[in-house]
Amino acid sequence: MKKLEKLKLKELKNVVNILDAVNAKSIFGGGIDDNDCLIEAIAYFGYSENDVWAKYTELYGASATLSAIENGVPVGNADALVNSFLSTVNVSNENSLNNELNSGRDVILTICAGSGGSTHAVIALSSDGNGSYTCYDPDSGQTYSVESGDIDFSYAASVTDCN
């Protein structure tokens, strides 16, 4: 068997392909899946997923990014990340949500997504005025109805402008 030559680190970077965050996620995380819902929600407003992941890494470091790729972006990290790309207004309850939607603004919402307190980021597009909201899920590309009881107001922000 032929003995392999050891490469210096500087030479190694010229030999090894460097993956961007989205491609790394598809390998590490087994595919782009529900864990990147907040990233996709921001990208919905015209940004690339690579740019959003790069900003997340800049804000929270590589180890936090690997954790987010595997487990999703923690709600506590959502504000700084979203506000790096979008101008927002906090939406804290159903009345403020309806006011923002009636003003023609889209709202990034977290909705309850199953047991264990997990949430999922979607874009609220409109309200029927009776507690039901039409939401777009950028992860799945589907539009569906969400009832007010399924909204988790721990993170909800009306998008007033793109930065």
pLDDT (tens digit per residue) in 4-56: 555 555 565 555 555 554 454 444 433 344 468 888 899 999 998 889 888 98
The pLDDT assigned to 30 comes to 34
Query: What is the pLDDT confidence band of residue 152, given thresholds at 50, 70 and 90?
Result: confident
pLDDT, residue 33, reads 45
pTM of this prediction? 0.74
Q: Which helix (H) or strand (E) holds 27?
A: helix 21-28
Q: From CA 128, how far away is CA 117, in angstroms rounded?
A: 26
Q: What own/partner pairs with CB < 8 Å and gap ≥ 24 does 39-44 have? A: 39/73, 40/121, 40/138, 40/139, 41/108, 41/121, 41/122, 41/123, 41/138, 42/81, 42/82, 42/85, 42/86, 42/108, 43/138, 44/123, 44/136, 44/138
Q: What pLDDT band is residue 126 in, cutting at 50, 70 and 90?
A: very high
**Percentage of the chain lying above the pLDDT 90 cut:** 17
| Mean pLDDT within 123-133 | 92
Name all domains of the chain by residue range, CATH numbers in brackets.
19-86 (no CATH), 87-162 (2.30.30)
Other CB atoms within 10 Å distance of the CB of residue 47: 17
Average pLDDT, the chain: 78
The least confident of 80-94, 131-145, 148-162 is 148-162
Which helix (DSSP H) or strand (DSSP E) does residue 152 occupy? strand 151-162
